[in-house]
Amino acid sequence: MSWVRRREIPLLIFAITFIIGCFGYYIEHPAMGKIYSTLFDWVLLMSNLALGTGLIAMTLYHGKKIAKREKGYEMSFVVFGALILMFVSCYASPASREYLYAKIYTPASIAILCFTGFSEISGLYRAFRVRSVEAFFLALAGFILLMHFAPVYGFFIPGVEKVASWLLDNPAMGASRGIVIGVAIGTIAIAIRVLLGYEKAYTG
Amino acid sequence: MIKGELASTFVVLLVFIALYLYCIYRAVRGKPPMIRKVPGLDAMEEAIGRAVEMGRPIYYSTGVGSLDGGDMPMTMAGMTLLGYSASLAASRGAELRYIAAVPQLVPIAEDMLRTAYRDAYKPEQITFVPSQVALMSTIVGTYEREKPAANFLLGALYWETVVIAEAGARAGAMQVGGTGRLYQVPFVVALCDYSLIGEELLAAGAYVSREPSQLGSILASDIIRFITIALIIIYVIGSLFGVDASTILRF
């Protein structure tokens, strides 16, 4: 097996960056501080480099799709059109880039968001239907939150907001912290498993 | 050398790491701990069987959580379960499709699906959409058209949870959801048939692999959890008597 494809390489990179990241957070030393900040500079550099490779990969993918007339190849023309338009507008006229972003991209995103809004409301209806004990508590929590945020409840039932606040600040907070602590402990476990090479999901 | 205000947490972290290493060593040496059944993980097999019977695809999503920051462990657990469910689906002859919203996850998923399906792998099994809005609308449309038999929603989920789970429910899919993100847990519990809450998702890798080394880390996590509970009880009792017990961990 070529050394580039060996599973040990990503593991080694993870181990080095994990140790620097972990110890750099706790240890105060000029050398460690410099390594720590250099590492984060590398992260930024690699992210930007990945954008470039992503652009190449996307161009190749859509180019092949058009060349082979694969299913939905017409949309690849739209991708190229949008890509060229945005690229040219960035260099030729920043004002037109702002226009494209604010007047075309943002409204289009919001339109799609509204389309999914239907699903959101229907999902909430399904979530709040009392068909199990968990759903009952979720519906109860939703009702309590309504009492907390809608002043009309306080007008008709004085003091009800205080009950809602107490429930949110005490039992709900306690339960949520339990989940947070569990996740934090699980995070350490995953980090150790990755460090020892048992958890290999990130290598594919 | 060690930052003053972080000294105690650093020592606690080192103790925890030592405990993990000991438990893993002990498990590898022949004393693997028992792990309780997690219905959500067992249900994945049932959902894949359902997909085979119905001749419909299985859809998998890890949400918009990436492989960095606090999302990393949940996304990694989601990817581990993607590998597991892909190999299970491939062995049973079901088609699993993955919808990614994070570019870094695409090559990982591609490698997993290629390994699982070998020659039967099709590039269309992975769809990449570049944003949360696109992910939600893609899923709503795709589920409506293709009526998947099963929908797995596992990872660091954001507010796409309710839309994806609702689309799955409308399509009549059997749903398994799981996340450790606090605000999405209620939606996963209410909308999915089976749910993995918090650390259940993070323990998934160990559960499905059944490797003694991984099970050892679960034992260490349980011990740390008991220590944490004991410290909370001591703190509460101390507070009742006017003693600030949190000073135990400050040195």
**Cα atoms in the Cβ-side hemisphere of radius 13 Å centred on B5:** 1
Give me the number of domains chain A comprises.
Answer: 3
Alpha-carbon gap, residue A149 to B8, rounded angstroms: 40
CA distance A22 to chain B (A): 9
Q: Containing domain of residue B142, as a range?
A: 39-202
Average pLDDT per block of 10 residues along chain A, 204 residues long: 68 84 83 85 87 87 91 90 90 87 87 75 75 76 76 78 82 87 90 82 66
- For A153, the token pair is 């409840």
What pLDDT is attached to residue A55? 87
User: B111-123 pLDDT, tens per residue?
Assistant: 999 999 999 999 8
- Mean pLDDT computed over B77-105: 93
- Which residues in chain A have their CB less than 8 angstroms from residue B197's CB? 179
R_g of chain A, CA atoms, integer Å = 26
CA distances from B142 to A72, A76, B89, B137, B171 (A): 15, 19, 20, 8, 10
Query: Helix, strand or coil for residue A198?
Result: coil
Average pLDDT of the residues in B50-74: 92
pLDDT digits (tens, 9 = 90+) for B148-161: 999 999 999 998 89
Q: Tell me: do A156 and A193 sit in the same domain.
A: yes
In angstroms, the Cα distances linking B4 to A28, A37, B17, B156 are: 9, 20, 21, 33
User: Given this model, what pLDDT does residue A6 score?
Assistant: 67
| B226 and B129 housed in the same domain | no
Question: Is B54 a residue whose pLDDT tops 70?
Answer: yes
- The pLDDT assigned to A4 comes to 63
Say whether both B8 and B92 belong to one domain. Answer: no
Number of H helices, E strands in chain A: 9, 0
Tell me the β-bridge partners of B2. A27
Q: Are residues B17 and B99 in the same domain?
A: no
Same domain flag for A34 and A87? yes
Contact between chains at B133 and A185 (C-beta distance less than 8 A) = no
Same domain for B140 and B113, yes or no, is yes
Residue of chain B whose Cα is closest to the Cα of A22: B10
Residues B88 and B43 in one domain: yes
Q: In this structure, is residue A1 part of a structural domain?
A: no
Residue that wins the pLDDT comparison between A50 and B44: B44
Mean pLDDT (whole number) for B156-175: 91
pLDDT in tens, A118-163: 777 787 777 777 777 777 877 777 777 777 777 777 778 787 778 7
For A74, the 3-state DSSP assignment is helix
Q: Residue A204 has what pLDDT? A: 62
Q: What value of ipTM does the predicted structure carry? A: 0.85
Q: Give contacts of A 144-203 with B, CB under 8 A.
A: 176, 179-183, 185-194, 196, 198-199, 201-203
Is residue A75 situated within a structural domain? Answer: yes
